[in-house]
Amino acid sequence: SQKIEQNSEALNIQEGKTATLTCNYTNYSPAYLQWYRQDPGRGPVFLLLIRENEKEKRKERLKVTFDTTLKQSLFHITASQPADSATYLCALDFTGGGNKLTFGTGTQLKVEL
């Protein structure tokens, strides 16, 4: 079965720095990879989607890379702010469009002043 690994340890960074979160997966590569933000006690909110034939995607201060050779995605937040503090989940769709998303455990990010 597919396995997704995200760093379970919280990532603490200083305001203004770039946060980099990692998502690794096993077995065959997914058609899509998505990143979500989740705040405590709330449902995840979609941030970015990257397809298997795309190397990089950007949205404002967010950047996602997708390396199917390494089976890894990196999620970057530049110029981080305390409001960016949350848990970030990666989700993989291995079905090629069926939206059967498999989620990682998430990495908690804390941005300190």
- Binding string, residues 31-70; x marks residues near other proteins by CB under 8 A: -x-x------xxxxxx--x---------------------
Burial 69-82 (b: 16+ CB within 10 A, else e): eebebbbbbeebee
**10-18, 55-63, 74-82, 91-99 -> range binding other proteins (CB under 8 A):** 91-99
Q: In this structure, are strands 107-112 and 11-14 parallel, antiparallel, or unpaired?
A: parallel
Does position 105 bind other proteins by CB under 8 A?
yes
| Minimal distance, residue 23 CB to other proteins, in Å | 11
CA distance 71 to 104: 14
CA distance 95 to 54: 17
Q: Which residues bind other proteins (CB under 8 A)?
A: 4, 8, 32, 34, 41-46, 49, 89, 91, 93, 97-106
